Structure 1
Amino acid sequence: MDRLSDIYVLPVDDWIESFVKDWLVPNFRPAFQAIQWPIDQVLTGLDAFLLTIPPFLFMAVAVLLAWRIGGRGISLFTLAALVLLDLMGIWDDSMTTLAMVLTSVVFCAVVGVPLGILAARSDRFQTGLRPVLDIMQTIPAFVYLVPIVMLFGVGMVPGIIATIIFAMPPLIRLTNLGIRQVPEEMVEAGYAFGATRRQVLFEVQVPIAMKTIMAGLNQTLMLSLSMVVIAALIGAEGLGLLVFTGIGRLDVGAAALGGIGIVLIAIVLDRLTQALGEPSLGEEKRSFRGLAMRLVGGSPAADKADESAADPAGPAGAAAKRN
């Protein structure tokens, strides 16, 4: 006898199966259905909307948005990537994948950002949340599929739920980190000017931490795309299903086609979210000036009016001084 298991083996697998099948699912089925309903509504609406839009119209809007957010380089790459997706014949699968990713990111943001804010404002809540996030990040992605299938079944929505669980931790952690890194002097200045806790949060802490929060959103987006193929194992559609069926049939061309589509979508979304998190210097100055004026109860326009009124020569004299 070399091992304890030669004497006795803990029936952990039987306990878990009995707990899930005999107690959890029968007693909480309405709760699981209620969780699936909003995700199903958002996913179905986004998928139908993206598939209804003509490809040329979608390309025009996407390129214009990319040019407005990131400039000429990102807009040109967006145009090239979308044209290539259409030429390869995987446009519909790409739109389904995009709908899945956007749905996952929306629910990750709705749940993850408030949790990150709560963790930043309460050390006790952060201490309790940290091991949960550690478990969510260290469990292999395939392991998520087992409880998800047992609790929610198979299909698109269970795949989205698995993706949300897998992709949410970076957004929570970076939201918490960004708000905690806001200089204490700026928070104290907000309170000194009479701002409430809510005003300090949304007018001081969140704007300053926005770059870090957007970095977390970017990581969540990339992790959502990485789960596309894995979610295909439980019935998710799109490019992930194309890769999965290509591997199953040893069709290297089809699998590579789906992989190329996922990579193109990932690069476009990555560049756009990075550009959103990096405002220009002029925009930063304007935002901080507007922030300061709101904290003291004024506005940039009122500040200019007061400056003109205080000058003996009137508005013309104030303008001459500024020049």
Structure 2
Amino acid sequence: MFPESLQFHVAPSIDLFVNWLTVTGSPVSGAISHGTLAVLLNIQAFFMFIPWWLWIVVVASIRWWQTRKVAGTAGLILLLLSIGAFGLWRDAIDTLAVVLTAVVIAFIIGIPLGIIMATSNRANAVLSPLLDGMQTMPSFVYLIPALMIFGLGKVPAVFATLIYAVPPLVRLTNLGIRQVSSSVQEAATAFGATRWQLMREVRLPLAMPSILAGLNQTTMMALAMVVIASMIGAGGLGEKVLIDVNRIDVGKGFEAGFAVVALAIIIDRLTQGLVHRGTHT
């Protein structure tokens, strides 16, 4: 056994810090929480306003536009119908709303961070180890800071999902911009392009396939984290899976798990199709 005389615990200091953060940062965290919740509820209300059959038409139309393949389009239609047939449509919409909210915030944060890393070697050196740690850390750990700041509910679930899902978007944005050919950039500079014009007109458009791939990975990781975030009140399909596992209800658990897989496949196929079209445009 490790000797007790050499043991050192940081838990009391962390508890004091959390208490201080809760008291002093409550106005800021409260404002962020209310703003995020308002966005989430509006997205959820909009999604619920759309009839189920219109969802199917929209998804089928997007997939047909992307691939022109009957089998692939029919497959996504069947997956959507299976979610409704299992009585999990509302839960799927709740999950989709949390995922979309987290992905939108990740996009707002991740793209600028990726651009900063691509244009500054110092920022790249500082942020790369941080992203490494974020990607190797067990997903359950992300629930702790969200709980510390926002408590239980959908808002901490959004931010736990955001922290877990944003690294791929930052990394692939950075990678895509850095891989833009130097000769193309030199030609644009020779024609008088400023740094901002070079980034907006040359580097970002050429890096778009990599950025879209990062968006795809972020979306899929967000969906995976939403299931785990059901432990802190995310609701949706993740909550169904958690309840059925606790009750050892194999049948209901299978239906909820299948709905999660179906939603993941639908999102993946649509975003992959977006990446494919972005690569060939």
Q: Same fold (TM over 0.5)?
A: yes
Structure-1 residue corresponding to 2:85: 87
Contact preservation (8 Å) 1:74, 1:272: no
Matches within 5 A, 1:173-252: 173-252=171-250
Counterpart selection for 2:37 from 36, 40, 63: 40
| Distance in 2, Cα, partners of 1:100 & 1:280 | 26
State the Cα deviation string for residues 196-235 of structure 1 (Å, max 9, x = none): 2122112111111111111111111111111122111001
| Distance in 2, Cα, partners of 1:71 & 1:164 | 33
| Distance in 1, Cα, partners of 2:269 & 2:40 | 23
Structure-2 residue corresponding to 1:155: 153
Structure-2 residue corresponding to 1:68: 65
Structure 1 SS opposite 2:277:
coil
| Matched residue type, 1:210 | M
Could you state the TM-score of these two structures normalised by the residue count of structure 2? 0.95
Could you state the TM-score of these two structures normalised by the residue count of structure 1? 0.83
| Distance in 1, Cα, partners of 2:80 & 2:120 | 44
1:42: Cα distance to partner? 1.9
1:35: Cα distance to partner? 2.4
- Structure possessing the higher relative contact order (Cα contacts under 8 Å, 6 or more residues apart): 2
Structure 2 SS opposite 1:40:
helix
| Matched residue type, 1:27 | T
| Distance in 1, Cα, partners of 2:108 & 2:145 | 23
| Distance in 1, Cα, partners of 2:181 & 2:58 | 39
Contact preservation (8 Å) 1:214, 1:277: yes
Structure 2 SS opposite 1:182:
coil
Structure-2 residue corresponding to 1:49: 46
1:271: Cα distance to partner? 1.2
State the Cα deviation string for residues 225-282 of structure 1 (Å, max 9, x = none): 111221110011110000000001111112111111111111111111111112288x
| Distance in 2, Cα, partners of 1:174 & 1:29 | 34
1:14: Cα distance to partner? 0.9
* Aligned-pair Cα RMSD in Å: 1.6
Counterpart selection for 1:58 from 55, 59, 64: 55
Note the residue ranges of structure 1 that are not aligned, 5 or more in a row: 285-323
How many residues are aligned here? 280
| Matched residue type, 1:66 | R
| Distance in 2, Cα, partners of 1:253 & 1:49 | 31
Note the residue ranges of structure 2 that are not aligned, 5 or more in a row: none
Matches within 5 A, 1:8-47: 8-21=6-19, 23-47=20-44
| Distance in 1, Cα, partners of 2:99 & 2:5 | 49
Structure 2 SS opposite 1:7:
helix
| Matched residue type, 1:166 | Y
1:169: Cα distance to partner? 0.5
| Distance in 1, Cα, partners of 2:39 & 2:75 | 28
State the Cα deviation string for residues 287-315 of structure 1 (Å, max 9, x = none): xxxxxxxxxxxxxxxxxxxxxxxxxxxxx
Residue 116 (1) aligns with residue 114 (2): yes
| Distance in 2, Cα, partners of 1:127 & 1:56 | 49
| Distance in 1, Cα, partners of 2:196 & 2:270 | 29
Residue 265 (1) aligns with residue 246 (2): no
Q: Which has the larger radius of gyration?
A: 1
| Matched residue type, 1:67 | W
Identity among equivalent pairs (%): 44
| Distance in 2, Cα, partners of 1:184 & 1:42 | 41
Residue 104 (1) aligns with residue 75 (2): no
| Distance in 1, Cα, partners of 2:226 & 2:18 | 26
Cα 1:69–1:36 change in 2 (3 A) is: farther
Cα 1:136–1:55 change in 2 (3 A) is: same
State the Cα deviation string for residues 76-118 of structure 1 (Å, max 9, x = none): 2221111111111111111111111111111111100110011
1:8: Cα distance to partner? 4.1
Structure-1 residue corresponding to 2:141: 143
